Amino acid sequence: MNIDNGNVTAVGVAPPAPLHVGGPNIGNREAFLARVNDILDRRWLSNNGQYVQEFEKRIAEIAGVRNAIAMCNATVALEIAARALGFQGEVIVPSYTFIATAHALQWQGIKPVFADIDPRTHNICPSDVRKKITKHTTGIVGVHLWGRGCNAEELDTIAEHHGIDVMYDASHAFGCTRGGKAIGGFGKCEVFSFHATKFINSLEGGAVVTDSDELADKIRLMRNFGFKGHDNVVYPGINGKMNEVCAAMGITSLEAMKEIIAVNRVNYESYREGLTGVPGISLIDYDPLEKNNYQYVVIEVNPAVCPVSRDKIVACLQSKNVIARKYFWPGCHRMEPYRTLQPGIGEGLPCTKVVADRVVVLPTGQGISRDQISWICGLIREETGARTKA
């Protein structure tokens, strides 16, 4: 790195290994390994062991709800939650989300009906949801993208008016709030992801959270083949259980939660400082009145102002082992099987296309240093021809 009168450029500082979006946070390695040894000593590896129960208890406390049901992953959690709510026919979802949100419905023979987003928040647009409701609509799945809560109050109102249910994909939003209320308590239920790429991870995992004891009991049955006690199957179910080692990692992550969020926020502010003044590039904002996990550093590249394209910036970064991502390009509706099953639907999703064609997500988390962030910002400044930051 060259530093000249405080100016940072991208000369000569390549990362020792690729810097990925969603590089895993590890937490206290010794604490995790101690838990794993305890699991092995107990010889209770799965089937609702003590670590799963402890992990669920802590998740519920943070989310401010009565029930948390840990799952093997968030996609299975979405599938089970949708089935538990009786979704069928058509369910409205944003196209601008990770493909699992749509697949969890399609996999069960439910048609995802794609709604557009608000270009300011990147979240599902309630007014477009209203337009997409038909006599076949049985539910809505809202997504809290980037940890910024979507307009849950309006979606809940729409659902109530039409006599349908709404659930939320909160994969990005663990530890976040909307209107001062913890995300986790909106709609009939919400789903968190604890995949290795999430700021809190359980190696692989997810959870459904809800204040409904009745719904929680149903979901617990469904994640364990429908067993109620020994030799007594009372409901059709699958194997969605989380194992004890994953739960141990989840608990270890939760113990480091404040530290991880603090690192994420410092990283976010470092990117903001390093990219200030680059024409056509802006970071998304996080509401200072809300809690956020700062898990994602998201920039938008405005093609009308930026001297180079979004794709050229991404190619430049990836050529230097900075694995920036074009989340969630090109949108679910332009992926299979949806582009074949629903041809022409993109005409009704103009804001989704604009945002998907502009967004770049940059590496953050405990695995990246401030010097590396300065270096990444220097790469972007050089690629765009921006002056180095004084």
- Classify 109 as helix, strand or coil: coil
Please give the Cα distance from 142 to 117 (Å, whole number). 11
* Tokens describing residue 134: 């038909």
Q: Which of 357, 353, 328, 335 is nearest to 145 (CA)?
A: 328
Query: Does residue 9 register a pLDDT over 80?
Result: no
pLDDT at 386 (0 to 100) = 87
Angle subtended at Cα 144 by Cα 174 and Cα 160, rounded to the nearest 5 degrees: 115
Angle subtended at Cα 317 by Cα 312 and Cα 318, rounded to the nearest 5 degrees: 95
List the CATH code of the domain at 256-384.
Answer: 3.90.1150.10
Tens-place pLDDT, residues 260-273: 999 999 999 999 99
Query: Does residue 10 register a pLDDT over 70?
Result: no
> For 359, phi and psi rounded to 5 degrees?
-80, 140
Q: Which of 1, 19, 17 is nearest to 9 (CA)?
A: 1
Tens-place pLDDT, residues 169-184: 999 999 999 999 999 9
pLDDT at 387 (0 to 100) = 73
pLDDT at 42 (0 to 100) = 95
Please give the average per-residue pLDDT across 240-261, as a whole number: 98
Q: Which of 36, 70, 34 is nearest to 52 (CA)?
A: 70
Query: Does residue 11 register a pLDDT over 50?
Result: no
Helices 29-42 and 50-63 meet at what angle, rounded to 10?
A: 130
List the CATH code of the domain at 29-254.
Answer: 3.40.640.10
Query: Does residue 215 register a pLDDT over 90?
Result: yes
User: Residue ranges per domain, the chain?
Assistant: 29-254, 256-384
Please give the average per-residue pLDDT across 377-382, as a whole number: 97
pTM over 0.85: yes
pLDDT at 4 (0 to 100) = 36
pLDDT band at 16 (very low <50, low <70, confident <90, very high): low
Please give the average per-residue pLDDT across 57-75, as a whole number: 98
Please give the Cα distance from 243 to 173 (Å, whole number). 23
* Burial readout 234-262 (b: 16 or more C-beta within 10 A, e: otherwise): eeebeebbbbbbbbbbbbbbbebbeebbe
Query: Does residue 354 register a pLDDT over 70?
Result: yes
- Classify 8 as helix, strand or coil: strand
Query: Does residue 259 register a pLDDT over 70?
Result: yes
How far CA 168 is from CA of 123, 152, 298, 378, in Å, comes to: 12, 9, 21, 38
Give me the percent of the chain exceeding a pLDDT of 90: 92
Query: Does residue 15 register a pLDDT over 80?
Result: no
Q: What is the residue-averaged pLDDT of the chain?
A: 94
Query: Does residue 1 register a pLDDT over 90?
Result: no
